[in-house]
Amino acid sequence: MRLIVGLGNPGTQYENTRHNAGFMVVDKLAAEFGISVNKNKFDVRYGRGDIENQAAMLAKPMAFMNRSGLPVQKLAAYFKIDSKDLIVIHDDIDLAFGRLKIKEKGGHGGHNGIKSLIGAFGGGNFVRLRIGVGRSEAGESVTDHVLGKFSTDKAEVLSQIISGARDAVVEILRNGTKAGMNLFNGKDLAITA
C-alpha cells in the first residue's frame, strides 16, 4: 500500500491557492481513479483504491499545513504503512511556476508542511513531488504569496500542471521514483501549445 498525501489547508477560503497544490493533485487522482476521499481518521480525510494495479491510499490532512505531520504519521502507523511508502505532494516557491521536481528524501527546504512531517516521522525518508509555484512579487510576503490564488494567466495552465503532477505520481507507482525523476524533473508543464 502506498500512501499518497497532498498537503494543503482545509476550508473554502484556501481552495485554489498556491499552498493547496497538493490537495489539487490528490483530488485529480481521486476523480480519475474512482477513489472516494471521504473517510476521516486522525484529522485526515482519506480513501483507498487502486492506481495502475497498485494499492493506494489518498490522503489530505485537515490540521492545516504547519501541523499536518502528526495526523499523517498516525494514519500511516494505524494502517502499518512505512514512511518509505509515502509520496508527499506539495507546493514549492523555490521552483519556477509549472516545474515539477521529484525527490527521494531530504530536508524540509523551509516548507513548514514538510518540516512537520519530518518531525512526526523522525526523518525525511519519503518521496516528495514538489510543484513549482514560483517566488512572490516584490513587496509581497511569502505567506501572502502561498496563500494567494493563481493569477488569471497562470490559472489557465494550472489544470495541465495538475494533470502532469498526476502523471508523475502514476509513473512513480508504475516504474519507481527514479523513473519518475528521469521523466519529470526539469520539465516545464506551464508551456502552452
Q: Which of 8-22, 24-38, 143-157 has the highest mean pLDDT?
A: 24-38
Beta-carbon-side half-sphere exposure of residue 188 (alpha carbons within 13 Å) = 7
Task: Looking at 42-151, list the stretches that DSSP marks H as alpha helix, in order from N- to C-terminal side.
Answer: 69-78, 112-121, 142-146
57: β partners: 3, 48
pLDDT tens per residue, range 44-88? 999 999 998 999 999 999 998 899 999 999 999 999 999 999 999
Q: Which of 19, 90, 111, 145 does the annotation list as catalytic?
A: 19
pLDDT at residue 192 in the model: 56
pLDDT value at 137 more than 80: no
Q: Which three cell numbers stand for residue 36?
A: 472516494
Active site residue 90: no
Residues in Cβ contact with 166 at an 8 Å cutoff, skipping those fewer than 6 apart: 25, 28, 29, 32
Q: Is 185 exposed, middle or buried (0-12, 13-18, 19+ CB in 10 A)?
A: middle
- pTM of this prediction exceeds 0.85: yes
pLDDT at residue 17 in the model: 84
Residues in Cβ contact with 6 at an 8 Å cutoff, skipping those fewer than 6 apart: 21, 22, 23, 24, 25, 26, 27, 58, 59, 60, 89, 90
Q: Which of 59, 77, 74 is nearest to 7 (CA)?
A: 59
